[in-house]
Amino acid sequence: MKRVSAALSVAVAVALAAPRAGAQEEPEPFAVDYGAPRGCPDAAAFFGEVTARTPRARSAVGGESARVLRVRVEKRGQTHAGRLWIEEGAATSSARDVSGGSCGEVVGALGLVAALAVDPAASVAPRPAPEAAPTPAPTTEPPPSPSPPNEPKSLDANEPARDRSTDPPARTPQKHEPPRWNVGAAAEVAALADAVVAVRIFGERDFGGRLLAPSIRIAASRTLSVDRSASIGAATLAWTAGTIDLCPLRFDLASAVTARPCAGLTVGILVADGSGIPTPRSETRAWVSASAHVRLAWALSAVLALEIEGGALAPMLRESFFFDPNVLVYRAPAIAGFGRLGAGVSFR
């Protein structure tokens, strides 16, 4: 129950991003596409958790147009894990995950998440876990033909919920996250010359997936000026660069935290302005470096995420700046560590 409580605290703070929002007085029709192992509460029990918490949801009837609450519950050892997302036509919300010791606890927690997605003012008061569906008596009649895997299922009190726990995993969206666009900004600190601070903006295409989930990020950055002193003068250094990062994999560390290993290539210029000498001058040199780093992302909502990155870069052109006669003022390091802290927004 502790795991369910932790998941519910996240669900209350960050509800599913519904495809449409806004206050409405009349109850909205919903259909349910539900799959759970035998012995779990059925679709009617799940939707009962929703309607018990908000009057703004009702069962869709006939061919009525309705959003679809898609629910999947599976048993993992001694625990149960559940996932919920909402579909309206081609639009799909971000999925939310809940785990707990019993199937009833998980279904009840998913009902709370769905109620908050429908109505942010829904009741969050504790409720008893829904009871498991009764086991049907043996019968010699042939089983009914299964409906298509993506066909929305209307809530009908007289229609038994279909057990879809044996459907092939590839048929459910929980194995594949949809493609997204991401844009954002970050602050960067790199050990290129003492601590060099840069401002960085980026745009990214995330191609979706689960473990194999490639993304390409293009970023532009500009450092603050850095002063370097020598025995006969000083120089002011500044970097301006563009970077492309490739991140082929994604690891789900928690329901809202992911990790990506990435490799990057940076191309730009390094400008050095001399001072404190009789004839100061400015030098501009090409800057090329390769990098490897790990990116951690924490999804605060369906569209907003915080990011932290850390890694190392290796300049391919190790430029040096001297004052005559051969007084070194700066030389690019062979390897430099860096870190970034930023935020981004996502959209499809």
Residue 65 has what pLDDT? 87
Residue 159, classified by CB atoms within 10 Å of its CB into exposed (0-12), middle (13-18) or buried (19+), is: exposed
Distinct helix (H) and strand (E) counts, the chain: 3, 18
Query: What does the pLDDT look like over 250-302, one tens digit per residue?
Result: 998 987 899 999 999 999 999 988 776 667 778 888 999 999 999 999 989 88
Residue 172 has what pLDDT? 41
Query: What does the pLDDT look like over 110-137, one tens digit per residue?
Result: 999 999 988 888 888 888 878 776 655 5
Q: Where are the domains of the chain?
A: 2-173, 180-347
Residue 2 has what pLDDT? 45
- CATH topology for 180-347 is Porin (2.40.160)
Structure tokens at 92: 């799909």
Quickly count: other Cβ atoms within 10 Å of residue 112's Cβ. 26
What is the reported pTM? 0.52
Alpha-carbon distance 121 to 89, whole Å?
25
Residue 17 has what pLDDT? 43
Quickly count: other Cβ atoms within 10 Å of residue 339's Cβ. 15
Alpha-carbon distance 287 to 317, whole Å?
6
Residue 160: closest CA among 181, 135, 194, 195:
135
Do residues 246 and 213 lie in contact, with contact meaning Cβ atoms separated by under 8 Å?
no
Structure tokens at 20: 């449409």
In one letter, which amino acid is 95?
A: A
Residue 157 has what pLDDT? 42
Give me the helices (H) in the chain, please.
Answer: 2-13, 43-53, 103-118
Q: Report, as ranges of residue numbers, the positions in the chain whose pLDDT lies below 50.
A: 1-2, 5-7, 9-23, 138-140, 145-159, 167-175
